[in-house]
């Protein structure tokens, strides 16, 4: 699910969770009472069993009020510790540098936390506990309303004692960077009647045949994330009761070949993620009643139909990802009905024809990726995108779309465009002067086309540009530092395999000169 879609639901959950804590003091030293001595000692024992960088937990000292310690939140009136915010600072595990070099907490978890009788929030996510098991005593922290142990390198079977946490509203045990957790029985989940958010993504649930029945018994559940869980999904199942569910992500489970019928009954969903589930055939018409959807991800499957007309009539849809399928035919002019759409990805399909002019009226659209389809004349593409979409579009990707022809002045209309990807096409002619009007542009990819002529000095107007790739073209002429004098943010220049002559000092960086 896209980040801009997660915001409203997650924000609501945070508001609900924060209500009892409105009078808390968080790491500011302004508590009206000091922390409880017994609780301070419990935290110090907890610290003693942790490994941590010297800068971490340095404020945790026996001589100081624990309510002023980093990561500790106390109740201003009672002094009881209510929250522990001890998450790591690395929250993007696709970044290998972040994974390997950002300091994290480790060691083991001391059961001294049981002395924090009023603890209702515990976040230990994005740390590295060296594949230890989640300790059973966590299930005795009965005041917890929020528990996040995601991506903290725990392993083994998730303890059923977590079923004792009957006050939980939020539970995140996701482990996708190091897949090491499993769950053998979902029975204990059914007792968490206040649970609103459950994320078990990348936890092995292959032995949990009753997961669907158990989660459907949770009357307050709003978000359910079970991505890459080795799930076995029944094709039909009567009696499901997901009345409160708004977000469902079952991506990367091998559900092939047909979408289960029971999904079509979840007509109240705001977000549905079914990425990489090995579905085939046409996009099922059973989805057409799910008109409340704001986020739909069906990417990475084998759907081979045209895009159904009914899908274009989902006027509340904000994010649509149909990339990496075998979808065929043209994009219908009915796409202009999707007036709320912000993010649309139809990349890596077999779509062909012209981009409809009606797309120019999509006034909220910020992201378009239509790469690896077939769309024809580049000037037609930009003419189709004239209108209010040119005021909002931030990313346009048309890599490998068999584009031909040359640029016209319509290119310069996208005043908020930050990324333009047009590599691996057959675009000819010179770089137009209108390119200098793309004042917000940060990344420009024109690699592997047939562009000719010289590099226009107006390129220097792109003062926010960070990446410029013009390699593998037919460009020629002399390039001097004056071309890039105003490009103070330029970090990468790819210009090889042209006939350009660079007259720059050896100290000028960045540069990838032609041979």
Q: In 124-166, where do the E strands start and end?
A: 146-148, 156-157
Residue 20's pLDDT is 39
What DSSP assignment string belongs to 77-133?
Answer: TT--EEEEE---S---TT-HHHHHHS---EE---GGGGG-TT--EEE--S---TTPB
Residue 156's pLDDT is 97
Taking the C-alpha atoms of residue 418 and residue 465, their distance in angstroms, rounded to an integer, is 9
Taking the C-alpha atoms of residue 355 and residue 357, their distance in angstroms, rounded to an integer, is 7
Residue 155's pLDDT is 97
Q: Strand 367-369 and strand 395-397: pairing?
A: parallel
User: Phi and psi for 410 in degrees, rounded to 5?
Assistant: -65, -20
Residue labelled with tokens 């991800």: 297
Q: Strand 72-75 and strand 81-85: pairing?
A: antiparallel
DSSP state at residue 343? E
Sign of the dihedral defined by the CA atoms of residues 125, 127, 130, 132, in that order: negative
Q: List residues bridging with 255 in a β-sheet.
A: none
Residue 54's pLDDT is 73
Residue of 127, 268, 263, 152 whose CA lies nearest to 202: 152
- Per-residue burial over 467-483, b = 16 or more CB atoms within 10 Å of its CB, e = otherwise: bbbbbbbebeeebeeeb
Do the beta carbons of residue 331 and residue 352 sit within 8 Å? no
Residue 94's pLDDT is 52
Do the beta carbons of residue 126 and residue 85 sit within 8 Å? no
Q: What is the helix, strand, coil percentage profile of the chain, to 5?
A: 25, 20, 55
Taking the C-alpha atoms of residue 142 and residue 140, their distance in angstroms, rounded to an integer, is 5
Residue 254's pLDDT is 85
Residue labelled with tokens 């942790």: 50
3-state SS, residue 163: helix
Residue 91's pLDDT is 63
Terminal Cα-to-Cα distance of the chain (whole angstroms): 44
CB atoms within 10 A of CB 53: 12
Taking the C-alpha atoms of residue 474 and residue 460, their distance in angstroms, rounded to an integer, is 20
What tokens appear for 337 in the block? 């009905």
Question: Which domains does the chain possess?
Answer: 34-230 (3.80.10.10), 233-240+251-328 (3.80.10.10), 352-515 (3.80.10.10)
Q: What is the 3-state secondary structure (H, E, C) of 82-93?
A: EEEECCCCCCCC
Taking the C-alpha atoms of residue 452 and residue 255, their distance in angstroms, rounded to an integer, is 49
What are the mean pLDDT values of the chain's consecutive 10-residue runs (515 residues total)?
45 42 40 84 97 87 90 95 92 54 89 98 96 98 98 96 98 92 92 97 92 91 97 77 94 89 94 96 97 98 97 98 98 98 99 97 99 97 96 98 96 96 98 95 98 93 97 95 89 95 80 49
What tokens appear for 408 in the block? 């016209």
Residue 1 CB contacts under 8 Å (≥ 6 apart), including other chains: 247, 249, 271, 273, 295, 297, 319
Residue 6's pLDDT is 42
Residue 221 burial (10 A CB sphere; 0-12, 13-18, 19+): buried
3-state SS, residue 223: strand
């Amino acid at each position: 699910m896209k980040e801009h879609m997660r915001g409203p639901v997650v924000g609501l959950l945070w508001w609900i969770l924060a209500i009892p804590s409105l009078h808390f003091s968080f790491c500011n030293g302004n508590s009206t009472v000091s922390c409880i001595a017994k609780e301070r000692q419990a935290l110090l024992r907890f610290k003693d069993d942790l490994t941590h960088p010297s800068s971490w937990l340095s404020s945790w000292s026996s001589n100081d009020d624990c309510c002023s310690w980093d990561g500790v939140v106390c109740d201003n009136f009672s002094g009881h510790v209510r929250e522990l915010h001890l998450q790591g600072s690395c929250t993007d595990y696709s970044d290998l540098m972040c994974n390997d070099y950002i300091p994290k907490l480790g060691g083991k978890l001391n059961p001294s936390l049981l002395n924090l009788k009023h603890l209702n929030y515990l976040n230990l996510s994005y740390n590295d506990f060296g594949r230890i098991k989640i300790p059973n005593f966590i299930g005795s922290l009965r005041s917890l309303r929020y528990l996040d142990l995601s991506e903290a390198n725990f392993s083994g079977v998730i303890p059923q004692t977590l079923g004792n946490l009957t006050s939980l509203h939020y539970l995140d045990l996701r482990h996708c960077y190091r897949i090491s957790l499993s769950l053998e029985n979902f029975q204990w989940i059914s007792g968490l009647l206040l649970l609103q958010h459950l994320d078990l993504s990348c936890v092995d649930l292959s032995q949990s045949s009753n997961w669907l029945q158990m989660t459907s018994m949770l009357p307050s559940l709003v978000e359910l994330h079970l991505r890459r869980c080795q799930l076995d999904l029944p094709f039909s199942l009567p009696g499901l009761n997901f009345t409160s569910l708004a977000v469902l992500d079952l991506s990367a489970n091998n559900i092939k070949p047909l979408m289960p019928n029971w999904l079509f009954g979840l007509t109240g969903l705001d977000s549905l993620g079914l990425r990489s589930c090995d579905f085939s055939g046409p996009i099922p018409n059973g989805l057409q009643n799910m008109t409340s959807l704001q986020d739909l991800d069906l990417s990475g499957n084998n759907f081979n139909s045209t895009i159904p007309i009914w899908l274009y009539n989902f006027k509340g849809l904000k994010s649509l990802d149909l990339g990496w399928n075998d979808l065929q035919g043209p994009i219908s002019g009915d796409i202009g009905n999707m007036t709320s759409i912000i993010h649309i990805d139809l990349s890596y399909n077999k779509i062909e024809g012209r981009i409809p002019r009606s797309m120019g009226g999509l006034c909220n659209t910020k992201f378009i990726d239509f790469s690896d389809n077939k769309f024809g004349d580049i000037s037609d593409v930009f003419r189709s995108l004239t209108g209010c979409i040119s005021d909002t579009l931030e990313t346009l990707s048309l890599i490998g779309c068999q584009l031909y022809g040359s640029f016209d002045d319509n290119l310069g209309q996208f005043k908020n465009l930050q990324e333009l990807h047009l590599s691996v096409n057959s675009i000819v002619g010179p770089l137009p002067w209108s390119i200098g009007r793309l004042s917000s542009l940060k990344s420009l990819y024109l690699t592997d086309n047939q562009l000719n002529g010289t590099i226009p000095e107006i390129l220097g107007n792109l003062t926010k540009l960070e990446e410029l790739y013009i390699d593998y073209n037919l460009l020629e002429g002399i390039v001097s530092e004056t071309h890039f004098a105003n490009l103070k943010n330029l970090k990468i220049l790819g210009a090889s395999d042209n006939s350009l002559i660079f007259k720059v000092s050896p100290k000028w960086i960045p540069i990838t000169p032609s041979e």
